[in-house]
Amino acid sequence: MTSDNSKNSTVSGMSSEEEAKLTVLRDGIDDIDKKIALLINNRAQLAQEVAAVKHQFKSDDEPVVFYRPEREAQVLRKIMDLNEGPLNDEEMARLFREIMSACLALERPVSVAYLGPEGTFTQQAALKHFGHSARTSSMPAIDDVFREVESGSVNYGVVPVENSTEGVINHTLDNFMTSGLKICGEVELRIHQNLMVSDVTKIDSITRVYSHAQSLAQCRKWLDAYYPHVERVAVNSNSEAARRIKGEWNSAAIAGELAAHQYGLHILNEKIEDQPDNSTRFLIIGSEPVPISGDDKTSIMVAMKNQPGALHSLLQPFHQHNIDLTRIETRPSKTGAWNYVFFIDFNGHISDYSVKEALKVIDLHAADVKVLGSYPRAVL
């Protein structure tokens, strides 16, 4: 016969005093959850009413714009400002990001094309920006993301534009030369690379590692130190690398955590990138311009003739109007052998007086100026 020696111990192994205290606290949590659920639904109802008003003031053939990036940025910034902890500002904003995503989906689910395949950092960026209620679809190439948005098959697209260790993604910039799409937002993602293997991998016999060329470059020193004799094979994407090693006993892949989950792989070494602050910036592309949010950036493309003082006359108006440049890139133009195109990002919105004035002057010196978009600075 078994008997319980401790007279205060219960079935769960806790003392009755511990259990009583937990019950009080958990009753408190249940109570709050009930209120939170009710309030979230009240919020969702208001979002539905917003949708009705958006409809009401549009004529039949005018498209209704449900997703408002400037308003969403303001909501998240306000939540972060109000936050007093113990949750940190980013955690709070992440929770509200998902609440807004669900509210927007009630108005109209937003459809988003991203540079795939599934499991890429670009998919991670799309979910970070739009939340998990967005309908995301994977595209095989950056050009396809642009095409899907241009054709109206999806509302928005997400493409990578620059990496803090490897620099700019030229393919994205080149697409802006011919596309009429607008930049509606930016996302920044900390990039952590991981070495992963499959169930069949013989860990002591790895002779090959697959990854995207950029990821291999981001982990060059680590590979030199730990796998100096292993062949490095560049493939189209990190997800492709993850997919390939499923049946190969002598191969490993370098990819993000999402890819390991997606393909059922085991992470052998995490955070193997050479630069600890390795991050990638992504752009949200769409067809509508974004109104001012109060903390915005603008991207422009300027074609200049290759003549003395061209760069000076391009930069001078920014200096004169006290506008901070955040990035400048040069690409050879596709139209004339010796002409250049500058991609410039700066702080401010196209509706700001100082920005308008600076652009007026630049217009006088440039062969062509194209505003790619003003958009809220990344909040998360």
Per-residue contact track with ligand ISJ, 316 to 355, x per CB under 6 A?
----------------------------------------
> Is residue 246 within the footprint of ligand ISJ (CB under 6 A)?
no
Residue (of 332, 271, 273, 324) closest to 303 by Cα position: 332
Contact (Cβ atoms closer than 8 angstroms) between residue 126 and residue 283: no
* Residue 359 and residue 300 in contact, taking contact as beta carbons nearer than 8 Å: yes
Amino acid identity at 316? Q
From the CB of 75, what's the least distance to ligand ISJ, in Å?
5
Single out the segment in contact with ligand ISJ by CB under 6 A; choices: 101-109, 151-159, 166-174, 198-206: 101-109
Instruction: Among 73, 79, 93, 104, indicate the residue that binds ligand ISJ (CB under 6 A).
Output: 104
- Binding residues for ligand ISJ, rule CB under 6 A, total 12
| Residue bearing tokens 């009753």 | 27
CB of 146 to ligand ISJ, least distance (A): 23
**Backbone angles phi and psi of 305, in degrees to 5:** -80, 145
Q: Which stretch binds ligand ISJ (CB under 6 A): 3-11, 97-105, 160-168, 345-353?
A: 97-105
Rule CB under 6 A: is residue 107 a binding residue for ligand ISJ? yes
Q: Whole-angstrom Cα distance, residue 291 to residue 299? A: 14
Write the single-letter amino acid at 335: T
To the nearest 10°, report the CA torsion of 127, 128, 133, 139.
-20
Q: Cβ closer to ligand ISJ: 108 or 331?
A: 108
Within residues 13-52, the interface with ligand ISJ by CB under 6 A covers: 47, 50
User: Which residues ranging from 56 to 95 are in contact with ligand ISJ (CB under 6 A)?
Assistant: 66-68, 71-72, 75
- Give the shortest CB-54-to-ligand ISJ separation in angstroms: 7
Please state the closest distance from residue 115 (CB atom) to ligand ISJ, in A: 23
User: In angstroms, what is the minimal distance from the CB of 101 to ligand ISJ?
Assistant: 8
Polymer length in residues for the chain: 380
Q: Is 327 exposed, middle or buried (0-12, 13-18, 19+ CB in 10 A)?
A: middle
Tokens of 278: 């390795």
Closer residue to ligand ISJ (CB): 109 or 313 = 109
Q: Token pair of 67, please?
A: 């997703």
Smallest separation (angstroms) from ligand ISJ to the CB of 359: 28
Q: Rounded distance, CA 217 to CA 191, Å?
A: 13
CA 179 to CA 80: how far, in whole Å? 35
d(CA 47, CA 53): 10
CB of 47 to ligand ISJ, least distance (A): 4
**Closest CB to ligand ISJ among residues 186, 345:** 186
Q: Which is nearer to ligand ISJ, 71 or 377 (CB)?
A: 71
Residues found near ligand ISJ in the complex (CB under 6 A): 47, 50, 66-68, 71-72, 75, 100, 103-104, 107
